[in-house]
Structure 1
Amino acid sequence: MSKPRKPKGRPISGWLILDKPMDFGSTEAVGKIKWLFNAQKAGHAGTLDPLASGMLPIALGDATKTVPYVMDGRKIYEFTVTWGEERSTDDLEGEVTHSSDKRPAEEEVRALLPRYTGVIQQIPPQFSAIKIAGERAYDLAREGEAVEIPSREVKVHRLTLLKAEKDRAFFEVECGKGTYVRSLARDFGRDLGCYGHISELRRSFVAPFAEETMVPLEKLVALEALEDREERLAALDAFLVDTSEALSALPQIRISDDQAHRLKMGNSIILRGRDAPVAEPEAVALAGGRLIAIGEIAGGEFHPRRVFG
């Protein structure tokens, strides 16, 4: 019987908060970071279009277990809508499908914003990763198929007009999971009767990571010049954010090393003390500042669901 293959790369864990450049795909970015860090595993928390720049949180190693918690977080985008053309991709990349000579006044644009704030119904772009009968919408769109994508409920927490010019307007939006900024631009243009598309898009925030934690790709690539491998990897590792940061919104409990050992073996532990929580649907167990497990607290016991090395 053959031995199981040893995973390639280092068993390193943590989050790299990449400042993704334009014209660089999210999957391509993950591959580059995985290679630079010589990591065994890597994944991102929310696709950023190639024509968009900004925050792309990339999880390495055990941090990949926390990706769903970041995917569910709020996001902030700064974006520019250019009026006069609607495009097949709802951004600069696509072909022009509708055009208009009309240009909206600033007052018209401001009056539109309340309609797109709060819980709204939104139809994702034709060129999106939404699955239609098992196929990605963008694959069907590239083959020339017109697909019916059902509308879905998304939440826009805040929508601000930063500046308005004759041919374009600048916005900032804070939104929840699944919101397509390209769809906002498309729908703005249709409602204003002038058509529109995204001409610039930057993501500045993905909860819970702050904007100042972002690292430009060129800064990481520059470290390839270091000939000493250990020195190079140590310099890269210094940019990592601890895995537990992704779980900062969850209740936290402090446990002993003995309790940590029990959790890592898949066993539940009893939580003692006057202030010990009795019930929580999800909580984080930490021992000496180290992330040990995510689990449920019920009946005064912590039941592990995901355990970390």
Structure 2
Amino acid sequence: MQGFLNLNKPFGWTSHDCVARVRKLLRFKRVGHAGTLDPAATGVLPIALGKATRLLQYLPGEKAYKATIRLGVRTTTDDLQGEIISSQPCTHLTLAEVKTALAQFEGKIEQIPPIYSAIQVDGKRLYDLARKGEAVEVPVRTVEIFNIEILDWREGDFPELDVAIACGSGTYIRAIARDLGTVLGTSGTLAALIRTESSGFHLANSLTLTDLETQTQAGTFQPVAPDAALQHLPSVTLSATPAQKWCQGQRVSLNLNISGIVRVYEEETRFLGIGQLQDEVLIPQMVFEPIS
């Protein structure tokens, strides 16, 4: 079994929990995932099966979310799963003020990830250091926010804002919630999060763990084709002889005016793997389907 599972991760499960469950349901050991989701988040979690685990590094990094931000509240984890640090009503805030503040978060921005995150510092996860109470300087990173759209605004002592966010990899929505509160002169925390798109997979086409269990029991589960999520990469088609040489690890000369990472096919239909075009030479990077 080779390919991908577009999983709709349930609330309260870690990404690792999901991988373990998929292994058990499919009775398959070689399983991996792309784009870790926090336990409190739901939505798209791409799961790779078999040799497709080697394709995870080539998936597109773009992601999309629907998030609920609660203003006036600050927590240790920057979401409602953490301990409340401060809580102060902010009934004075208006939607116009929020719109103006959100504009600062579009484009390439500097972001400090939450202290409770999976980022490694000196080989240790930040959340492990945080749980031990160790002080650590969280590294600033540059992330890109393509678009933020306001979906709903609910007034009150602790106003809530629903937004749709399209962003690049490495972006923490919890940090956006926290920093939006700071810009508005108050606090902010993430109240809910759904990932609607990740690495070329969409929520509308996802399967729940219950769906997967039902399909496996019925013998109807079919993984997503391994190259389906690689459409952002240019493709190269080889005839039979060059394809065989390439699959054997040999370089193939091509008269193509492109360079970089490409999908490689034999006769346009058979996906062979990933190559790199450099100076009109196709270099094997990952042979997915060797030719005997």
TM over 0.5: yes
Between 118-127 and 137-146, report the one with greater CA deviation. 137-146
Alignment of 1:294-305 (within 5 A): 294-305=274-285
Please say if residues 279 and 296 of structure 1, whose CA atoms lie closer than 8 Å, have aligned partners that are also in contact. no
Q: Which runs of 5+ in 2 are unaligned?
A: none
Q: Distance in 1 between matches of 2:195 and 2:161?
A: 17
Secondary structure of the residue aligned to 2:213 is helix
Task: For residue 89 of structure 1, give the secondary structure of its aligned residue in structure 2.
Answer: coil
Equivalent residue number for residue 224 of structure 2: 241
Task: Decide whether the 8 Å contact of 2:8 with 2:208 is kept in 1.
Answer: yes
CA distance, structure 2, for counterparts of residue 69 and residue 77 of structure 1: 21
Q: How far has the Cα of 1:164 moved from its partner?
A: 0.7
SS at match of 2:227: helix
Shift of 1:117: 0.4
Amino acid at match of 1:76: A
Tell me which of 82, 107, 111 is aligned to 1:118: 107
1:89 alignment partner in structure 2: 77
TM-score, scaled relative to structure 1: 0.87
Ranked by relative contact order (alpha carbons within 8 Å, sequence separation 6 or more), the top structure is: 2
Distance in 1 (alpha carbons) for counterparts of 2:239 and 2:27 = 32
Distance 2:13 2:56 in 1: 21
Normalising by structure 2, report the TM-score: 0.92
- Alignment counterpart, residue 148 of structure 2, candidates 159, 173, 181: 159
**After the TM superposition, which parts of structure 1 deviate over 3 Å for at least 4 consecutive aligned residues?**
none
Q: Structure 1: how far apart are the matches of 2:235 and 2:188?
A: 46
d(CA) in 2 for partners of 1:202, 1:155:
19
Q: 2:122 aligns with which of 121, 133, 139?
A: 133
Distance in 1, matches of 2:131 and 2:125, equals 10
| Cα shift at 1:65 | 1.3
Query: For residues 128 and 107 of structure 1, what CA distance do their matches in structure 2 show?
Result: 32
- Contact 1:126–1:141 (Cα < 8 Å) also in 2: yes
Residue among 159, 179, 190 paired with 1:198: 190
* TM-fit CA distance, 1:270: 3.0
Which residues of structure 1 form unaligned runs of 5+? 1-11
Deviation at 1:277, TM superposition (A): 1.2
Deviation at 1:144, TM superposition (A): 1.6
SS at match of 1:148: coil
Give the length in aligned residue pairs.
284
2: CA distance, partners of 1:62 / 1:260: 19
Match for 2:63 among 55, 71, 75? 75
> Quick one: distance in 1 between partners of 2:233 and 2:250?
21
Letter in 2 for 1:20: K
Residues 96-111 of structure 1: pairs in structure 2 closer than 5 A? 96-103=84-91, 104-111=93-100
Q: Tell me the CA shift for residue 184 of structure 1.
A: 0.3
Partners of 1:111 and 1:65 in 2: how far apart? Answer: 43
What secondary structure does 2:169 align onto? Answer: coil
Tell me the residue number matched to 2:266. Answer: 287
* 3-state secondary structure, aligned to 1:243: coil
Alignment of 1:192-231 (within 5 A): 192-223=184-215, 226=217
CA distance in 2, matches of 1:111, 1:300: 49
Q: Does 1:277 align with 2:277?
A: no
Residue 260 of structure 1 pairs with residue 229 of structure 2:
no
RMSD: 1.6
